[in-house]
Structure 1
Amino acid sequence: MAGIDMKHLNGKSVYKGVALGKVLVLKKEAYIVKRVKVENPDEEVKRVEAARQKSQKQLQKLYEKAVKEVGEASAAIFEVHQMMLEDDDYNESIENIIRTQEVNAEYAVASTGDNFSEMFASMDDDYMRARAADIKDISERLVRNLSGQSGMDTEFEEPVIVMADDLTPSETVQMDKEKILAFVTVHGSTNSHTAILARMMNIPALIGVDMNLEEIQSGTCAVVDGFTGEFILDPDENVQEAAKAKIAAEEEKKNLLLKLKGKENVTKSGKKINIYANIGSVGDMGYVLENDAGGIGLFRSEFLYIGRNELPTEEEQFQAYKQAVQNMAGKKVIIRTLDIGADKQADYLNLEKEENPALGYRAIRICLSQPEIFKVQLRALFRASVYGTLSIMYPMITSVEEVMRIKEIVKEVKAELKASDTPYKDVEEGIMIETPAAAMISDELAELVDFFSIGTNDLTQYTLAIDRQNEKLEEFYNPHHKAILKMIKMVVDNAHAAGKWAGICGELGADTELTETFVNMGVDELSVAPSMILKLRKIVREME
């Protein structure tokens, strides 16, 4: 009979995988904020202050829990919420509504929350739009604390498929990670907090599923298929069996790969290659360790600069780099200096709109034009160097002069650290080869640096003169183009001739069709998404 009631829904998958289990529908308590006339507005203003202090304490607790579980960078959202609670405009609006309309605190907070989040939601800027959800989050928290009701129940007995309208960061952090099989939400974006968390935890997640949560009972059996984007409620036995088979096949693949953990990346004839991980923030560290990476070949420092209103401080950067090198316990961590511009923007840097951003003011060009920003990052990097094995890598190099200028700035930074008795280590310094110019003079550059890392995405784009974001050009974009492979070979040979090593950290490094080609070329290191590490190890170990 069950088959008749089966319900098929579709969503956008943020992480591939399959889950089968009971759903838990997270409904926010239906608390209706009533508008009540009050005799004593002063009393209401005091109540808001008390609720604000209570909220601050809760957020501090959440922050501490999140730092332990998902790392400093991902926990920063709760610091943002704490700052928002102190925002003058927000608080003045609440007080103003209480006094002018002589109404209760709950109503004043809820109205202010609605007004502000609508204002943010209508802005052009993605970052500001995302803040609308944060304003909602803090306003709901204040109202809950004012009215003495508890929040969403995030404690569950058995592992479940979590369903919700959308999940705020504070909700996802409170959940017991061991008990989540999958996430399914009505709203959300592929780079929302829920999506990032799902990828971190290796669990399937669907967003944008058009469903009415009121009609769905918690405890209903369901299947989430991250490969097809399907969400099936009340699956019949055939669907359940098929899901179980898929889960088993995934498990088997995973277990086969896990057998490769701790094994070396060596071909049958004894040729060794390093397989490292590319990551975008400290929060991704769990992935790196879980997939047994030999090190981190590209740690993008942009996450510290993007999605905020001012430059990160030296201390903040130092803490993030230190955490990364400590977590890797002596394995190599190659941190790329600020690579912003082109498709990655930070408004407070006031980068003007450019005709050709990919050929514009970006990466090392910003650092050399605004050395004060560069120096703060370098100081943080050198200070973190004493906690593990850190290497520094400079992006978008096109000339010998740029490298000489970087060397001068590094010398100044080391002198400053020495003068203030701040410990640091001399670290390996390398450059990214992502312009044809750098590839053509790689023989000269090799004399000046300790290593090369080839950024194939940009190298392909600049060599073929094709904007990689332009969908119309897909048929012309050929990353296997002979010119690219010849350049890679040339760079590797030039590095070896100078006694230096060369790796690849662009998407091409994870292209399994080319793994053998790269090993035969003598590439020393491939740095790829953590989920690709064991797959590449398998290919390398099966090579002759």
Structure 2
Amino acid sequence: MIVIKGKSVFGGIAIGRISYLKKSREIVKRTIISDTRKELARFEAARQAAILQLEELYEQAAAKVGEANAMIIQIHQMMLEDLDYLEAVNNMIENQGVTAEYATSVTGDSFSLKFSSMEDEYMRERAADVLDISERVIKILRKEKQTAPSPKGPVIIASDDLAPSETIQLDKEMVLSFLTKYGSLNSHTAILARTMNIPAVIGLQDGLTEDWDGKTAVVDGFTGTVYLDPDEKTLEEMEEKKRREEEKKELLFSLKGKENITKDGKAIQLYANIGNSSDIGAVLENDAGGIGLFRSEFLYLEKSDYPTEEEQFSVYKYVAESLAGKKVIIRTLDIGADKQVPYFDLPKEENPALGYRAIRICLTRKELFKTQLRALYRASAFGNISIMFPMITSLKEVLEIKEVAAEVKAELKKAGIPYKENLELGIMLETPAAVLISDLLAQEVDFFSVGTNDLTQYTTAVDRQNPMLDKFYDPHHLSILRMLKLAADNAHKNGKWIGICGELAGDLSLTEAFLSIGIDELSVSPALILPLRQKVRESSVGPVNPDWFL
């Protein structure tokens, strides 16, 4: 028996035969041509053919995995319209006199390298996207057939990595689990695995080889462990663990449609955090009451230039309509710190976590801010949208935000464009400054949502991304619970509601404490909705326990 460990993407136990998807990327040789005009036409024809292929693929994928998960195909179509990408290919053909295949290959590699060297993990994962579309164009130029992986029977899919178009075409009924050498938690393989509730382990590196093809394996998605050719004892243990997990899953799914209410009658809203409109399927599948945090920055992170008002509006409208009246809280642009976007041309900072980020960018680049607000207000006419502003530290900021929002509403009204007049405006409590003046802030906004990740970082002065400080990073720090109690009291004194959208919201050991101090809403990853509902329904919440604050 061979045992290797990687990164867990989604929990669960899978037992079955491995099907290793072998892929070889052919090297495109540099070939000189004489007729550059003809070669430019060849590239353009191949590009248009690729767009048509992706349109057909989108329809197929939407039928298989739902429109939300199929949206990655639309993103690939947009990449084939990217002016920087197209200009790079055309310039190589014109200036170097090379074939369209070579120009496309080199451009794809160049853009992929640029993405993979970015600090933001989500942007690094876009390297796979640009390689995928480049490979598609090259195959069309070579008149090669596009083939999709088609495993025979339910198998554990293993690969060095899976291209986005390959992942989305897989028949989910034939996939027991995903295993990859590379990839990240933001890869499309990972996203699809979470959406489909399929056990998955990534980052297995050189421990995963093509020799595994056809062999029996056990995948423990909870621990990120893979057992190749498991011995009898391990197999029995894993089968028992799988049986227990399936029983637990059945119990959880029996909670669908049930109320989030404790034994002694305390109710709470359970919403989902998502980072992309492609996660909507998971929100609905896990019966979330709404979306408590929609991270709008993905619209900016995946583009090479500022998204237009129309591009943003179409996404916000799609999300609002997909939730069919359930609340959708969209956080405005939260760029900066660990989320860097090249075209924003942000200055290099020694301490970016305390620097030019989030609302500070929006209030100093107001046309950028107003573009997003116009898209959001327009989309509010199609669903139950609320807007949330990040990184607030002062009352002055909130008042300035409301002035900009009033300007946007006046412009829309003048243009005769419909929007929701009484749209909720809320703020994130992520800094000690905001919590300490939450009595004043509550008079100006409709709700609070506590970002416990940053609040813990700023309160305890511990960089949460520095692995050397892991032993000092304490999300259960007494100061955090005291701040949550203060913020909840101030919200309720002013007739406003308060939620938590940080990682702490999913900590089941604190659920009763949150309910006791008056937290009205918890927003977590979609997969945590049902376990959290079970915890709520099993709890009896009395008065506040003073020991929590000592």
Does the pair score TM above 0.5? yes
When structure 1 is superposed on structure 2, of 238-247 and 289-298 the one drifting more is 238-247
Q: What aligned pairs does 1:116-131 form with structure 2 within 5 A after superposition?
A: 117=109, 120-121=112-113, 124-125=117-118
Question: Is 1:16 aligned to 2:15, yes or no?
Answer: no
Kindly state the Cα deviation for residue 137 of structure 1 after the two structures are TM-superposed: 2.9
Question: Is 1:229 aligned to 2:224, yes or no?
Answer: yes
Q: 2:77 aligns with which of 72, 79, 100?
A: 79
The equivalent of 1:311 in structure 2 is 306
Counterparts of 2:212 and 2:509, CA distance in 1:
45
Q: Against the structure 1 CA distance between its residues 46 and 333, is the aligned structure 2 distance closer, same or farther, given a 3 Å change threshold?
A: closer
> When the two structures are aligned, how many residues end up with a matched partner?
531
The equivalent of 1:285 in structure 2 is 280
Q: Conserved in 1, the CA contact under 8 Å of 2:105 and 2:134?
A: yes
Kindly state the Cα deviation for residue 380 of structure 1 after the two structures are TM-superposed: 0.9
Counterparts of 1:445 and 1:486, CA distance in 2:
18
Q: Conserved in 2, the CA contact under 8 Å of 1:28 and 1:152?
A: no
The equivalent of 2:485 in structure 1 is 489
Counterparts of 1:126 and 1:185, CA distance in 2:
22
User: In percent, how many aligned pairs have the same letter?
Assistant: 56
The equivalent of 2:458 in structure 1 is 462
Q: Against the structure 1 CA distance between its residues 401 and 72, is the aligned structure 2 distance closer, same or farther, given a 3 Å change threshold?
A: farther
Q: Against the structure 1 CA distance between its residues 238 and 331, is the aligned structure 2 distance closer, same or farther, given a 3 Å change threshold?
A: same
When structure 1 is superposed on structure 2, of 473-482 and 249-258 the one drifting more is 473-482
Counterparts of 2:332 and 2:515, CA distance in 1:
27
Amino acid at match of 1:125: M
Kindly state the Cα deviation for residue 419 of structure 1 after the two structures are TM-superposed: 0.7
Q: Secondary structure, in 3 states, of the residue corresponding to 1:297?
A: strand
Counterparts of 2:503 and 2:28, CA distance in 1:
51
Counterparts of 2:438 and 2:39, CA distance in 1:
69
When structure 1 is superposed on structure 2, of 346-355 and 111-120 the one drifting more is 111-120
Q: Against the structure 1 CA distance between its residues 347 and 496, is the aligned structure 2 distance closer, same or farther, given a 3 Å change threshold?
A: same
Q: Against the structure 1 CA distance between its residues 166 and 412, is the aligned structure 2 distance closer, same or farther, given a 3 Å change threshold?
A: same
Q: 1:407 aligns with which of 402, 408, 418?
A: 402
Q: Against the structure 1 CA distance between its residues 34 and 320, is the aligned structure 2 distance closer, same or farther, given a 3 Å change threshold?
A: closer
Kindly state the Cα deviation for residue 165 of structure 1 after the two structures are TM-superposed: 2.4
Q: Conserved in 1, the CA contact under 8 Å of 2:373 and 2:405?
A: yes
CA deviation digits over 1:458-507, x for unaligned, max 9?
22222222222223333332222222212211111111111111112222
CA deviation digits over 1:286-317, x for unaligned, max 9?
11112211121111111111132111111111
Q: Against the structure 1 CA distance between its residues 410 and 65, is the aligned structure 2 distance closer, same or farther, given a 3 Å change threshold?
A: farther
Q: Secondary structure, in 3 states, of the residue corresponding to 1:329?
A: coil
Q: Secondary structure, in 3 states, of the residue corresponding to 1:393?
A: strand
Q: 2:324 aligns with which of 323, 326, 329?
A: 329
Kindly state the Cα deviation for residue 372 of structure 1 after the two structures are TM-superposed: 0.7
Amino acid at match of 1:405: E
Kindly state the Cα deviation for residue 138 of structure 1 after the two structures are TM-superposed: 3.6
When structure 1 is superposed on structure 2, of 475-484 and 525-534 the one drifting more is 475-484
The equivalent of 2:430 in structure 1 is 434
The equivalent of 1:443 in structure 2 is 439
Counterparts of 1:457 and 1:34, CA distance in 2:
49
Counterparts of 1:136 and 1:112, CA distance in 2:
10
The equivalent of 2:516 in structure 1 is 520
Amino acid at match of 1:117: D
Counterparts of 2:124 and 2:519, CA distance in 1:
43
Normalised to the residue count of structure 1, the TM-score between the two structures is 0.88
Question: Is 1:477 aligned to 2:473, yes or no?
Answer: yes
Q: What aligned pairs does 1:106-505 form with structure 2 within 5 A after superposition?
A: 109-110=101-102, 113-114=105-106, 117=109, 120-121=112-113, 124-125=117-118, 133-209=128-204, 210=206, 214-217=210-213, 219-425=214-420, 426-505=422-501
Q: Secondary structure, in 3 states, of the residue corresponding to 2:504?
A: helix
Counterparts of 1:175 and 1:368, CA distance in 2:
44
Q: Against the structure 1 CA distance between its residues 418 and 232, is the aligned structure 2 distance closer, same or farther, given a 3 Å change threshold?
A: same
Q: What aligned pairs does 1:32-111 form with structure 2 within 5 A after superposition?
A: 48=43, 50-66=45-61, 68-71=66-69, 74-83=72-81, 87-94=86-93, 109-110=101-102
Q: Conserved in 2, the CA contact under 8 Å of 1:77 and 1:169?
A: no
Kindly state the Cα deviation for residue 155 of structure 1 after the two structures are TM-superposed: 2.9
Counterparts of 1:498 and 1:228, CA distance in 2:
45
Counterparts of 2:436 and 2:38, CA distance in 1:
73
Question: Is 1:537 aligned to 2:533, yes or no?
Answer: yes
CA deviation digits over 1:238-262, x for unaligned, max 9?
4443333222222111111112221
Kindly state the Cα deviation for residue 516 of structure 1 after the two structures are TM-superposed: 0.8
Counterparts of 1:80 and 1:437, CA distance in 2:
41
Kindly state the Cα deviation for residue 135 of structure 1 after the two structures are TM-superposed: 4.8
Structure possessing the higher radius of gyration over alpha carbons:
1
Kindly state the Cα deviation for residue 411 of structure 1 after the two structures are TM-superposed: 0.8
Counterparts of 2:188 and 2:202, CA distance in 1:
12
Q: Which runs of 5+ in 2 are unaligned?
A: 541-550
Q: Which runs of 5+ in 1 are unaligned?
A: 1-5
Counterparts of 2:256 and 2:464, CA distance in 1:
34
Counterparts of 1:466 and 1:274, CA distance in 2:
30
Kindly state the Cα deviation for residue 519 of structure 1 after the two structures are TM-superposed: 0.8
Q: Against the structure 1 CA distance between its residues 41 and 533, is the aligned structure 2 distance closer, same or farther, given a 3 Å change threshold?
A: closer
Q: Secondary structure, in 3 states, of the residue corresponding to 1:345?
A: coil
Q: 2:502 aligns with which of 481, 503, 506?
A: 506
Counterparts of 1:344 and 1:215, CA distance in 2:
39
Counterparts of 2:130 and 2:330, CA distance in 1:
33
When structure 1 is superposed on structure 2, of 58-67 and 192-201 the one drifting more is 58-67
CA deviation digits over 1:37-69, x for unaligned, max 9?
999998777655544443232133234545644
Q: Conserved in 2, the CA contact under 8 Å of 1:339 and 1:364?
A: yes
